[in-house]
């Protein structure tokens, strides 16, 4: 449906269009994506903004946007939050909490002298909040190639009730060994980031999933006792992977449990034999201790995201994937159906823009006084050609962009002057056309012979 094509840029509720302020973007696919608005914090070396957005990337509101922002997300209680690092990088670090109208109402910080880290922020419908922090210690790692007083960062998870009371704390150093870290990472680093936890998820049975990127491990923790229930992936895995050509995941992000009990995560794939990234879903057999890969996207990966990344299973069964820090020329966000076909694929073409986490939610209560451009399929003829494409005459005067399916711009026109578009100079392959009018973005694909 195209009835809600909005973008909200996070800063006290401020209505107006922001499309012109965003880095250049293009659509690589648009085919009836799920309804909803995207919540994301965009960053590059020269640009930052916290956004609630949908498919046409047209702004309806803004909220506080700061240069050190690494997350902007909607929480399960309907609030929003972004991470703010204090000027002194101190225990004042925390997540700024915004109400449903994007007004600042609070700041959430760690307790016991810890500095909140930007990776972890989970808040449940009752206001229960999980934050994470590094837990630096000095250890004798001389036998492992480090120093006798090697700084080791470790990690701590803290749970707070709705009134900011600390109700639970879990320290990685009480349960893991420093040697649980991926063997490819050095013990002689300036500071050994041996755990690098980046996601917490509360399971249906009331326990905790912890995603430990530098251990290549998902750990399930007993919420009452703090003991480890099982370990999935890494050097200490309790499970055997089945139907997974990579033999599991590497340096993952954003683990979640689905209502059916399956586990989904973003596999960055840093230390796979061939580094490549995917969204993956596993079915766990807790009797035979197997983890069966039951779904992944893409099936054959030709893309790589070295860091960050997130995913979300949508109510209609689609999966929304944020590719994090992706390789040049690859799309930023993809919505994919269970059968692997793409409903939406967006790339920022003119800037190295990335986002730590992106999700899609129904935020239709936020309304706009400005009309958002629609995205429509474009009728072109022929769809397979060696030279000439014919565009509808109504597109005269519009701007046009042709991209490879990987997102590389190969041809641009600032003003379409003819219905005939010559493409003989393009290499053979599949291409995407974006045509921009004042109120519609048209998209089509064609094959160049």
* Whether the predicted model's global pTM rises above the 0.85 cut: yes
pLDDT band of residue 11 (cuts 50, 70, 90) is very low
The pLDDT score that the predictor gives to residue 62 is 58
Q: Average pLDDT, stretch 354-370?
A: 78
Whether the predicted pLDDT of 310 surpasses 70: yes
Whether the predicted pLDDT of 56 surpasses 90: no
Q: Which residues of 323-362 are buried (b: 16+ CB within 10 A; e: fewer)?
A: bbbbeeebbbbbbbbeeeebbbbbbbbebebbbbbbbbee
Which of 93, 97, 101, 45 has its CA nearest to residue 73?
A: 97
Domain ranges for the chain: 7-372, 378-448
Whether the predicted pLDDT of 5 surpasses 60: no
> According to the CATH classification, is domain 378-448 in 1.10.600.10?
no
pLDDT tens-digit map of 288-302? 999 999 999 999 888
| Least confident window among 29-33, 51-55, 351-355 | 51-55
CATH architecture label of 7-372? 6 Propeller (2.120)
User: Which carries the bigger pLDDT value, residue 284 or residue 437?
Assistant: 284
| Least confident window among 273-287, 330-344, 363-377, 433-447 | 363-377
Whether the predicted pLDDT of 36 surpasses 70: yes
pLDDT tens-digit map of 127-166? 999 999 999 999 999 999 999 999 999 999 999 999 999 9
Whether the predicted pLDDT of 19 surpasses 60: no
Which of 244, 253, 252, 238 has its CA nearest to residue 285?
A: 238
pLDDT tens-digit map of 367-410? 554 556 788 888 888 999 999 999 888 888 999 999 998 888 89
The pLDDT score that the predictor gives to residue 171 is 98
The pLDDT score that the predictor gives to residue 25 is 84
Which of 36, 55, 31, 27 has its CA nearest to residue 343?
A: 31
Q: Are 181 and 216 in contact (CB under 8 A)?
A: no
| Least confident window among 133-137, 231-235, 311-315, 388-392 | 388-392
Which of 155, 80, 152 has its CA nearest to residue 121?
A: 80
User: Could you tell me the two tokens for 196?
Assistant: 């690098």
pLDDT tens-digit map of 250-266? 999 999 999 999 999 99
Whether the predicted pLDDT of 13 surpasses 50: no
């Amino acid at each position: 449906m195209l009835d809600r094509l909005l973008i909200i840029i996070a800063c006290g509720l401020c209505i107006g269009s922001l499309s012109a302020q965003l880095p250049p973007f293009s659509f690589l696919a648009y085919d009836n994506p799920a309804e909803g608005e995207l919540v994301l914090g965009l960053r590059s070396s020269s640009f930052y903004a916290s956004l609630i957005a949908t498919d046409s990337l047209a702004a309806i509101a803004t909220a506080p946007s700061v240069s050190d922002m690494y997350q902007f997300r909607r929480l399960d209680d309907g609030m929003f939050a972004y991470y703010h690092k204090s000027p002194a990088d101190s225990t004042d670090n925390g997540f700024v909490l915004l109400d449903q109208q994007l007004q600042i109402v609070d700041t959430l910080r760690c307790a016991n002298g810890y500095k909140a880290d930007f990776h972890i922020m989970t808040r449940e419908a009752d206001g229960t909040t999980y934050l994470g922090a590094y837990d630096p210690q000095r250890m004798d790692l001389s036998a492992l190639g480090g120093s006798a007083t090697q700084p080791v960062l470790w990690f701590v998870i803290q749970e707070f009730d709705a009134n900011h009371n600390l109700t639970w704390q879990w320290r990685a150093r009480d349960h893991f060994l420093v040697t649980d870290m991926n063997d490819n990472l050095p013990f002689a680093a300036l500071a050994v980031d041996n755990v690098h936890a980046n996601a917490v998820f509360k399971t249906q049975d009331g326990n905790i999933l912890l995603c430990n990127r530098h251990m290549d491990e998902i750990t399930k923790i007993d919420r009452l006792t703090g003991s480890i229930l099982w370990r999935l992936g890494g050097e200490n895995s309790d499970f055997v992977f089945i139907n997974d050509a990579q033999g599991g995941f590497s340096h993952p992000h954003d683990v979640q449990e689905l209502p059916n009990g399956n586990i989904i995560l973003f596999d960055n794939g840093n230390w796979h034999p061939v580094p490549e990234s995917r969204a993956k879903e596993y079915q766990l057999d807790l009797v035979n201790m197997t983890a069966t890969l039951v779904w992944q996207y893409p099936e054959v990966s030709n893309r790589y995201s070295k860091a960050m990344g997130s995913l979300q299973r949508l109510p209609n069964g689609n999966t929304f994937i944020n590719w994090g820090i992706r390789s040049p020329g690859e799309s930023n966000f993809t919505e994919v159906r269970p059968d692997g076909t793409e409903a939406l694929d967006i790339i920022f073409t003119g800037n190295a823009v990335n986002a730590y986490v992106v999700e899609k939610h129904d935020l239709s209560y936020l309304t706009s006084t400005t009309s958002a451009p629609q995205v429509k399929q474009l009728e072109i003829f022929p769809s397979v050609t060696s030279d000439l494409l014919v565009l509808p005459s109504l597109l005269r005067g519009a701007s046009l962009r042709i991209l490879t399916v990987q997102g590389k711009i190969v041809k641009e026109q600032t003003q379409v002057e003819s219905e005939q578009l010559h493409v003989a100079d393009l290499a053979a392959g599949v291409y995407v056309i974006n045509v921009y009018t004042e109120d519609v973005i048209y998209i089509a694909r064609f094959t160049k012979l």
